Structure 1
Amino acid sequence: MTTPITPLPHTLITHLALDAAAVDHIQRLRLSTAEPESVVHHLERCSLHLEGELLSHWQHVLADSRWRRRMILALGNSPFLSNILGRWPHFLAQLFHQPMDWTLDRYKAIILEDLLATTDQNVAEQRLRLHKHLAFLQIGLWDLTGEATLEETTKHLSYVGEATLEAAYQWLERHFASRFGSPMVVCDEGGTPQRARFVVLAMGKFGAYELNFSSDIDLIFLYDCDAGQTDGKQSITVKNYYVRLGRELMQMISRATAEGMVFRTDLRLRPDGESGELALSVRSAETYYESWGQSWERAAMIKARPVAGDLALGEAFLKNLHPFVYRRFLDFGALESIREMKKKIDHKVNNADTYGRNIKLGFGGIREIEFFVQSHQLIHGGREKRLQDRRTVPMLDTLATLGLVDRTTADFLASAYRFLRTVEHRIQIVREQQTHNLPDDDRGMAQLAARMGMPNRESFLAKLQGIRQRVHEAYDNLFFDAERTRQDELSNDARVEALLSTSTQYEQEKTRAILSQCGFHDLDQALLSLKLFKLGPQERALTEAGQRWFSRLAPLLLQGVLDAADVDMAMQHVEKFLQTILHRTNYLALLAENPNLLGLLMPLFGSSPFLSRHLIQHPSIMDSLVGLDFVTIYRGSNEMRQELARAMERAENEEERFNALRMFRNTEMLRLGIRDLAGIAELQEVMAALSAIATVVLEQAVMDAMSDMVERHGPPMWSDAQGQRQRARFMVLGMGKLGGGELNYSSDLDLIFIHTSQGDEQYTEGERSISNSQFFARMAQKVISTLTTLSQGGKLYEIDMRLRPSGASGPLVTTLESFAKYQQNEAWNWEHQALIRANVVVGERHSSEQLKQVIRHILIQPRQIAPLREDVVQMRERIYQEKRPKPGVVDIKQTRGGIVDVEFLIQFLVLAHAHQHPQLLQRNAPRALLAIRRAGLITPQAYQTLEDAYRFYRLVENRLRLHHDRSENAIHTEDSVTLARLARLCKLESGPALLEQLTHHFAAVQPIYATHLGPVAGEAPV
């Protein structure tokens, strides 16, 4: 039921010339305010003494329904705004005729012009305050009526702070110049004196354009250097000059006068806090942050912004401080500092018995959202420039876009932030008091609910409490209690506890027994490695923070070792990894805070020497692994190209370009290996991705080689029949597994280089012109050199060019015309078998299509079945006799019924029937096999047998190469240890189970092979 309100006094209605509609409107508006009865009081106080033109202005304003609404909502919700109207009633007419929808530059120009028109400091301070009150009245009216968003309100409040500071600074500079002269400095040795520069940095909400109606403004004063003094009669040092100026500036802004204050100022965020110099040189500040800066100061600097004085000086300072604020590596160590800072705040608020009432610092309050955002910025901002923004809400959207926070959480926190900041505004707009506490009585809470536009106290509290609960849960998920987490994370595996606790000689024997039970074979080495887990590094002590993180991390790492497929390999790699990162506290913190990351890395350490070595040599890659999308999201060729292009842009010379190319390839291989071992990527995706990585690397190597050759010799050109010069194009034909998109780890790249030069006048157009054949031969050599040069990170790839026309005796690069003639007239059937998997992996579109048509023309020609079958069988037997497995060895490629038999069978059927079924021309073996079944060339049962066998063989091949770090296809049946490890990598229970599976597939494939190509004599497969 609506509480009745008193009618408007007749004298007030008459005085303000209100008609019946206006009176009714005012009465209805009063009901929606926090204090309906105060509307009459404030309206009488503000207007009854008015007369003449000013009264006429008020009557005119109240006759406008939109302005009437603004007035009543202000008078009924904000004694602060009501007092401004009461003291300076002419403001209303001023705003009515000239609304202050201003830019920052407009604010600055108006206030500065008015201030510099006087030399009297009292008058200057009075004018500053009047400008502030006028602006706050306008902003408050917008805010209360909902005509401005939260972001617009806080931005304009911040504009007022910036404009008044700049005006006060310029007024004081003019005043100081008359007393002391200009401050002159020599900042560079041997330089000439220059006018000193000074800047005011805004911190906190001020820096982020997020001021409240009653915010302090957090400031830091800086000047360029100490070496100098003023040039006036009353000369003082530059340091003294700016300390005095800073003190005067604070007082001019924050002094309480008859007109109130402009803003309260707070300089406690400066270097050394309250005990530090009020103003200090840029170099002194940089030295402080570089030497003693703490994590909370890094967080504070995220929002720093120059607002008065020499803004360029401030921007240069912040740019120099950038590496301090945004570390280039992921810095999870900052979490501990921020967590401790929040605990101190909680303790302080709890002591004041206001934890539940304080919407800024208390439970689920504004500060928890700000800390949530700033923590992500400190951790990830050095690697991701999009996180280097001062504002809270835009950063939440960016965190979701980058996949660091799920979209639902980010959107909720943004909405919660706006709601809580609006509550804060409504609390402070009452009397311009710096408070963040909710009212402690029912009446006050009901009034706050009305100011928030809520129907009653209960609905407001329900919404507020629900929001704060969810905010705290989101915050708590990031900033969990360290001790509780430590207990949750520590493994309950008794073996880990036993291995880390033994010390005596007797216990060491017990340790050896435990290590043996865990599957270790090199017990002596395992004991030595275990010392690192138990005692940490002996040659150089860890820092206190490092030791704390290491103590949490060691049990988790050891547990991961014990769970690995190859415990000896895992222990060896983890030990090397620890030796690399032990004295880099941020990495210890990163791993300790991210058990999921450990879950991704540990299978790697126990499976792949190559991938482990790359991570050990480049631990900074872990930064990328924390991003939610690095491992979980599939990256295609276009994304890879973009990533590589960005890396190459940063390279400044040839060596850096080579290193960037190698780093890209190894990092992509590592990312893929993690996806593979975690079961995120299917085998077919792994092979396709490995092929895509190789293709992107090849493209870059070709581009670099082409660019270098063109720079040296000019572009390769040839003349057509009309005498027109044409650009000769270069193509790379991927053969074998690369062409089929089925590369595996450690696969060679089978390549053929082709160019399109033909006709007459085949030469480059440059000062050092050479023939096109020379150009492309040298270019091909450069490509091969880039790919095969051995470095600390190994080779990029092994290259095999033997499939080119005429094999090893043929030219390194052949023309498209020669390639077509060779394939048509000279190539053997086995070369056409290889051509089935050929794919143009690098090349300009038009010439690539020409090459594809040449290949298609060759493959769809009719062939006599019997001679073809004979050629295929002879080639298969020749390969088998050259590479037949030795006794006690199973070769998944060469053993009868293995990979080669499946591939030869597919290739025979394609060549034999492609002229009738061109859909058989599939470069990828599984897709070709499916096309063969759909064409009715094999039975569905045969298809399923071959498909199952081929996929299993490729899985075993994948795991073999991960484990051995080389192109390996042989399994030694007597090596039970390696066999067991390989079985675990294949998700099988034992070595014998693996051999049994292989034997089954070998035996199942052989009769199908014999059906189409004839029986062969061979040993039993296992």
Structure 2
Amino acid sequence: MAAGAFAVTAAQALRPDGEGPRAGGDVLYSAAYSHYARRVLQARPDLPEILAAAVAQPLTRAWMEARLQALHAPSADTEDAAKRALRRLRAEVMCAVIERDLRGLATLGEVTGAMTDLAELAIQHGLAVLGDDLAATFGRPVGAHSGEVQELVVVGMGKLGGRELNVSSDIDLIFLYDEDGETQGGPRSLSNHEYFIRLGRRLINLLADVTADGYVFRVDMRLRPNGDAGPLACSLGMLEEYLVVQGREWERYAWIKGRVVSALGSPHAQRTAGLLTRLTSPFVFRRYLDYGVIAAIRSLHAQIRSEAAKRSGGLPGHGVNQRSFNIKLGRGGIREIEFMAQVFQLIRGGQDPALRIRPTLEVLAVAVERGLLPPGQAGQLGDAYRFLRQLEHRLQYRDDAQTHHLPTSPDEQHAVAQMMGCSDWPALLARLAELQEPVAQQFEATFSDPDAGPCEALWPDIVIHDSAARAQDNAQDPSHAEGDSAVPCQRLQAAGFTDCNALLDRLRAIAASLRYRALSEASRARFDQLVNRALDLAARQDDPDSTIGRFIDFLEAISRRASYLSLLSEYPQAMDRVAQTLHASRWAAAYLTRHPQLLDELLDSDALAGAPDWAAFRKRLHERLLAAEGQVEQQMDILRREHHAETFRVLLQDLQGMLTVEQVADRLSDLADAMLDATLETVWRQLATRHREAPRFAVIAYGRLGGKELGYASDLDIIFLYDDEHERAPEVYAAYARRLITWLTSHTAAGALFDVDTRLRPNGAAGLLVTSFDAFRRYQLREGDNTAWVWEHQALTRARFCAGDAAIGARFEALRCEVLCQERDAAALRGEIAQMRRKVAEGHPNPTELFDLKHDRGGMVDIEFTVQYLVLLHSRAHPQLTRNAGNIALLREAGELGLIDAALALAVGDAYRLFRARQHQLRLDGQVHARVAPASMAAQTAAVGTLWQAVFGED
């Protein structure tokens, strides 16, 4: 585009009918639609030529720096010269932005990015000019402890911090500095505090003072500690004390977008910015899931909407004074979209660093990626946000006014509609309503005050109110004491509870406890609501007494965590699912009570219904561990939280009858494999003695994990192999394995991960913790003096590579097949395995009359030993038996091969399946031993006995 193409006046830019700009490229759209741009163009004859060059490509920081250098020559390096140059630069940027935007050449991101770049450049340039000027009188501020020259740290809040600045926005700033001290090197000296206050005041004046050239940015300092009542600049120490002692919920929301916008060119500035991040992050992002923010945002939004309602009406077309509707603060407006994005950050940002980002649209994208927001809803929010921000800019283009209200005059409405590409004002309003209504509905669904549903107020009426009445009655007449429980017990009995006296005593003990009385007023109100709701939900179960007991244990465990109380108060459906979980399983109740952070999982109906995506799980886990690199405790907590959450999802599907026992075992085994892989990778990166980029190291699973029959509380039977010729390999991998075991077994604030048993390694507990692959091979193939026992070959039938170096894993699988396919003497093998079975039985005595599903004769161990015998004896002739396919499949295979009676093989397979299912149910019910009435399993144990007799020739 030639420079002369823009040599038109504002009048020439308009079509004769006044209906908008001329078609074609010879028109300044900014002059046609912006009163502000028209005034600037009239005052700056040089501007059309500058714009012609500027609008041909996206605006960049480099272009602005070049223009500032042209406008502010070094020879005129004074405050007044800087003021004039920055204001003239601002006019050029504004006109270029308006022109590119109205021509459809600029995205929303380019517009907000250009205004953000302008603000940062103005702040940094102003600080440089003013700092040099102050230095002539006061020198430079120096830290009392470090002796380093200090710099003013300017923090951009709000849309400046988020790089989302609109075209006529104020900039919200906070002025900070690192150390106290005094200035040095000038004729006069000031304390650092006073120096930075002076510098801050002059910076505000440089940016916001209205001169003949206008202003650069209006500056708002009210977000600083203590607002207008606080000092203009404060030290990091002062800020930290303020956030810890006085920081309020709305300030957490504000600090989400806080970002250093002053120059970070010096090591001191970079270090100070890092200190600021470490100081503010724990304030903004809590380590736990923080659902308390929902009520806080609800309250804040109510205040904002109330204020907006005083100045405008409801949604366009839905109320009086509709033409002055506020697109930022009104229903379905920009602020509601921002709130919905940032609630994810405040709730979950402490555990997921990916959510600690600033731009609203990026937050929505991460929320979709994390499964927190359905893509369709995120799309609606994103479309509305882009449209509203573009409309906001066009409203502000008209007169460079910080307005968010729709215009009231027909002329203004017509111009704005055309700027938005709509045929007329009603068309714009229709499009606006179409986009805002889903936003408003989503916001109300997220932040509406929940109604837990009707239930009789058994708590606290029957405990707290009744206790006060009893105390008063007993003081007047002690004879009332014996009957003072009659009425509340009757009410509990009427609700469906049986052991009413015990329940009443428990409730009274809670009401009188120090823990309950120490709760804040808000937490106590929520706790009262939840106990009452728990009584109502428990009464609906078929075993209300057991359910309410578990419920009370659970509520007492979470009572001091306001966030968990908030979650259950905000989401009644989560409370319903808690009731179902507590009722269904004693083990599940104990698990949830130990790990209350799992409450969050109860909100995701899609995750509870679907199968796990292990690739996505591994990717997410890898990202979270990398984000916490170097923070060992945090990484260990991440592993535990992710494992607990996935286990809980399996458990919930299990309790709902969605999974078979085999599916539960498969998922838990796959989960263990993923956790082992993640731990291997993370620990190796932190191992100081590592000698290669990736370890040549593998984890081999035995037992339940090896056979993919893992239960909820199963140990991991594992061994460690390496294949590395490096001279330091044995000691490096030994240290690695010890560190791995520590990471897997340590109890942290997030609980435990696994119990690990490594006694199946060569030579058991007396052997080396890690074994070279060659040594393991010789041991298993009995080459040399130190050789494997028969029972170790039995164990190999249920062993597999589960994590680490896949090449070692492949070599292990080949070796396993080679070992299992060795020729064996049937009689000797039969005797060895029968003898081992007797030893196992002696080690697990059953003093009861009940049948132990696992260890008693005719149970699971008999089936497993029988399968192991068949695999070891016949794999040489039938290699398909070496498949680690599980006992049921191997029994069927042996039957089809004619090694055992086929019908009997199926019957014993069915028995094994039933044994596992009953064992699983009993474990979920909290039973330590899986024992049942012998008669209930008589047919199954008879089939197992028949098979044992047929294979081993003994009863």
Q: Give the counterpart of 1:338 among 284, 292, 297.
A: 297
Cα drift, residue 665 of structure 1? 6.5
Describe the superposition over 1:848-879 as per-residue Cα deviations: whole angstroms up to 9, x where unpaired. 54544444345456889999889988987897
Decide whether the 8 Å contact of 1:756 with 1:815 is kept in 2: no
Residue matched to 2:850 = 889
Q: Give the counterpart of 1:686 among 650, 653, 664.
A: 664
Cα drift, residue 90 of structure 1? 1.8
TM-score with structure 2 setting the length: 0.80
Paired letter, 1:275: A
Describe the superposition over 1:55-112 as per-residue Cα deviations: whole angstroms up to 9, x where unpaired. xxxxxxxxxx96414x2x3333222222222222321122324657553254245425
Residue matched to 1:438 = 406
Residue matched to 1:836 = 797
Residue matched to 1:92 = 48
Paired letter, 2:170: D
Q: Give the counterpart of 2:88 among 118, 124, 130.
A: 130
Alignment CA distance shift 1:199-1:402 (3 Å) = same
Answering whether residue 433 of structure 2 is matched by residue 429 of structure 1, we say: no
Quote the Cα distance in structure 1 between the aligned partners of 2:635 and 2:342: 34
Cα drift, residue 676 of structure 1? 3.4
Cα drift, residue 362 of structure 1? 0.5
Answering whether residue 526 of structure 2 is matched by residue 590 of structure 1, we say: no
Answering whether residue 587 of structure 2 is matched by residue 634 of structure 1, we say: no
Quote the Cα distance in structure 1 between the aligned partners of 2:674 and 2:299: 46
What is the total number of aligned residue pairs between the two structures?
913
Quote the Cα distance in structure 2 between the aligned partners of 1:744 and 1:685: 11
Decide whether the 8 Å contact of 2:158 with 2:257 is kept in 1: yes
Alignment CA distance shift 1:853-1:555 (3 Å) = same
Decide whether the 8 Å contact of 1:326 with 1:378 is kept in 2: yes
What SS does the aligned partner of 1:743 have? coil
Q: Give the counterpart of 1:390 among 339, 355, 358.
A: 358
Decide whether the 8 Å contact of 1:225 with 1:281 is kept in 2: yes
Cα drift, residue 337 of structure 1? 1.8
Cα drift, residue 397 of structure 1? 0.6
| Aligned pairs for 1:764-803 within 5 A | 765=727, 796-797=754-755, 799=757, 801=759
Decide whether the 8 Å contact of 1:228 with 1:237 is kept in 2: yes
Point out the more displaced range, 346-355 or 859-868: 859-868
Residue matched to 1:405 = 373
Alignment CA distance shift 1:561-1:181 (3 Å) = same
Residue matched to 1:381 = 349
Residue matched to 1:960 = 922
What SS does the aligned partner of 2:297 have? helix
Residue matched to 1:161 = 119
Residue matched to 1:360 = 328
What SS does the aligned partner of 2:261 have? strand
Cα drift, residue 700 of structure 1? 8.9
Answering whether residue 907 of structure 2 is matched by residue 1010 of structure 1, we say: no
Point out the more displaced range, 551-560 or 789-798: 789-798
Decide whether the 8 Å contact of 1:542 with 1:583 is kept in 2: yes
Alignment CA distance shift 1:302-1:538 (3 Å) = closer
Residue matched to 1:981 = none
Quote the Cα distance in structure 2 between the aligned partners of 1:244 and 1:575: 59
Residue matched to 2:704 = 737
Quote the Cα distance in structure 2 between the aligned partners of 1:230 and 1:309: 22
Alignment CA distance shift 1:273-1:497 (3 Å) = closer
Point out the more displaced range, 404-413 or 92-101: 92-101
Cα drift, residue 220 of structure 1? 2.3
Point out the more displaced range, 580-589 or 567-576: 567-576
Answering whether residue 239 of structure 2 is matched by residue 285 of structure 1, we say: yes
Alignment CA distance shift 1:706-1:472 (3 Å) = closer
Alignment CA distance shift 1:914-1:420 (3 Å) = same
**Higher Rg:** 1
What runs of 5+ residues in structure 1 fail to find an aligned partner? Answer: 1-15, 41-64, 716-726, 758-762, 974-994
What SS does the aligned partner of 1:280 have? strand
Residue matched to 2:883 = 922
Cα drift, residue 242 of structure 1? 3.7
Cα drift, residue 334 of structure 1? 1.8
Paired letter, 2:708: G
Residue matched to 2:339 = 371
Alignment CA distance shift 1:936-1:495 (3 Å) = farther
Decide whether the 8 Å contact of 2:154 with 2:173 is kept in 1: yes
Alignment CA distance shift 1:809-1:637 (3 Å) = farther
Quote the Cα distance in structure 2 between the aligned partners of 1:642 and 1:399: 13
Alignment CA distance shift 1:297-1:957 (3 Å) = same
TM-score with structure 1 setting the length: 0.75
Cα drift, residue 464 of structure 1? 0.9
Describe the superposition over 1:479-530 as per-residue Cα deviations: whole angstroms up to 9, x where unpaired. 11x2xx1xx3145368778866754564634555676788978766543432
Cα drift, residue 835 of structure 1? 4.3
Alignment CA distance shift 1:826-1:440 (3 Å) = closer
Quote the Cα distance in structure 2 between the aligned partners of 1:671 and 1:573: 20
Alpha-carbon RMSD across the aligned residues, in angstroms, is: 5.2
What SS does the aligned partner of 1:390 have? coil
Quote the Cα distance in structure 1 between the aligned partners of 2:732 and 2:177: 59
Residue matched to 2:71 = 114
Q: Give the counterpart of 1:676 among 654, 676, 698.
A: 654
Cα drift, residue 436 of structure 1? 1.1
Alignment CA distance shift 1:101-1:798 (3 Å) = closer
What SS does the aligned partner of 2:381 have? helix
Alignment CA distance shift 1:155-1:937 (3 Å) = same
Quote the Cα distance in structure 2 between the aligned partners of 1:158 and 1:960: 62
Residue matched to 1:489 = 452
Cα drift, residue 744 of structure 1? 2.2
Residue matched to 2:319 = none
Quote the Cα distance in structure 2 between the aligned partners of 1:920 and 1:399: 47
Describe the superposition over 1:105-149 as per-residue Cα deviations: whole angstroms up to 9, x where unpaired. 542454256335436755543333222111211111100001010
Decide whether the 8 Å contact of 2:625 with 2:682 is kept in 1: no
Decide whether the 8 Å contact of 2:352 with 2:624 is kept in 1: no
Quote the Cα distance in structure 1 between the aligned partners of 2:894 and 2:723: 34
Quote the Cα distance in structure 2 between the aligned partners of 1:567 and 1:423: 57
Paired letter, 1:492: C
Describe the superposition over 1:172-194 as per-residue Cα deviations: whole angstroms up to 9, x where unpaired. 3344445x433534442xx64x5
Point out the more displaced range, 639-648 or 268-277: 639-648
Alignment CA distance shift 1:322-1:658 (3 Å) = closer
Describe the superposition over 1:725-780 as per-residue Cα deviations: whole angstroms up to 9, x where unpaired. xx9998765444332111224445556788889xxxxx9946xx9xx8x9999999
Cα drift, residue 167 of structure 1? 3.1
Quote the Cα distance in structure 2 between the aligned partners of 1:225 and 1:547: 42
Answering whether residue 349 of structure 2 is matched by residue 349 of structure 1, we say: no
Q: Give the counterpart of 2:435 among 467, 476, 479.
A: 467
Decide whether the 8 Å contact of 2:630 with 2:686 is kept in 1: no
Answering whether residue 9 of structure 2 is matched by residue 36 of structure 1, we say: no
Quote the Cα distance in structure 2 between the aligned partners of 1:824 and 1:527: 69
Decide whether the 8 Å contact of 2:833 with 2:865 is kept in 1: yes
Aligned-residue identity in percent:
30
Cα drift, residue 236 of structure 1? 5.2
Quote the Cα distance in structure 1 between the aligned partners of 2:683 and 2:58: 58
What SS does the aligned partner of 2:925 have? helix
Quote the Cα distance in structure 2 between the aligned partners of 1:888 and 1:344: 69
Residue matched to 1:203 = 157
Answering whether residue 778 of structure 2 is matched by residue 817 of structure 1, we say: yes
Describe the superposition over 1:614-660 as per-residue Cα deviations: whole angstroms up to 9, x where unpaired. 65555556567767888666264995698499769969899999999
Q: Give the counterpart of 2:214 among 260, 264, 267.
A: 260
Decide whether the 8 Å contact of 2:891 with 2:906 is kept in 1: no
Cα drift, residue 228 of structure 1? 2.9
Answering whether residue 220 of structure 2 is matched by residue 220 of structure 1, we say: no
Alignment CA distance shift 1:546-1:210 (3 Å) = same
Decide whether the 8 Å contact of 1:387 with 1:395 is kept in 2: yes
Quote the Cα distance in structure 1 between the aligned partners of 2:715 and 2:50: 80
Decide whether the 8 Å contact of 1:230 with 1:237 is kept in 2: no
What SS does the aligned partner of 2:282 have? helix
Cα drift, residue 336 of structure 1? 1.7
Paired letter, 2:239: A
Cα drift, residue 946 of structure 1? 5.0
| Aligned pairs for 1:639-654 within 5 A | 639=617, 643=621
